[in-house]
Amino acid sequence: MIIGGILTLIGGIALVIVGPLISQYTVSETSSTFENDMYSNFNFNSTDISSTNNVLSIFSGYLSIIGVGLIALSIVNFIVEWGLLKGKGWAWSISVIVTVISLVIGIIFVVFNVLAGDISSIIGQIVGMVINGIILWYLYRPNVKSYFGKVKIQAS
């Protein structure tokens, strides 16, 4: 879970950085060359694409918002990870809930990817579901539940 939090933080920072950079690009129908400077010109078969600039600006804004959300999510993730390391019961409960939700979302995405025929996404989702299954199995081990105060282990 710590690795997931670190990756979420890196992804969020990357989106916050990339979002504004995308808004610096403009699309124009006057040239068919790709210039290596702040502005790039594209030609799509002499089609009017003047509204594409607005789409890029909106898209870059969404990327930045998603990036900020991911950063906030990673901070919450680190708090839960701290709770797990300290044996806090609330952290165990949150971890179980999030893991079950992740499994359900994984199943939904596998179904959609099967319908779309996207094999590489199916494999990635199945790997994620296996990892979440292992995490859930581990969280329900009697000694782990006892560590979080969820069940008492009886001495033999």
Are 93 and 24 in the same domain?
no
pTM of the full predicted structure? Answer: 0.66
pLDDT higher than threshold 60 for residue 33? no
Q: What's the number of domains the chain is made of?
A: 2
Are 65 and 8 in the same domain?
yes
**pLDDT tens-place string over residues 34-58:** 444 444 444 444 444 445 556 777 7
- C-alpha distances (whole Å) from 99 to each of 5, 56, 93 are 14, 35, 10
DSSP symbols for 104-122 = HHHHHHHHHHHHHT-HHHH
Count of residues in the chain: 156
**pLDDT tens-place string over residues 55-106:** 777 788 888 899 999 999 999 999 999 999 999 999 999 999 999 999 999 8
Are 56 and 102 in the same domain?
no
Are 38 and 63 in the same domain?
yes
Closest C-alpha to 113, from 101, 103, 102, 123: 123
Are 117 and 153 in the same domain?
yes
Q: What is the pLDDT of residue 28?
A: 57
Are 76 and 6 in the same domain?
yes
Q: What is the mean pLDDT of residues 10-33?
A: 74
- C-alpha distances (whole Å) from 71 to each of 55, 61, 64, 76, 104 are 24, 15, 11, 9, 23
Are 140 and 92 in the same domain?
yes
Are 45 and 112 in the same domain?
no
Are 34 and 92 in the same domain?
no
Cα 103 to Cα 109: distance, rounded to the nearest angstrom: 10
User: Which structural domain range is residue 46 located in?
Assistant: 1-86
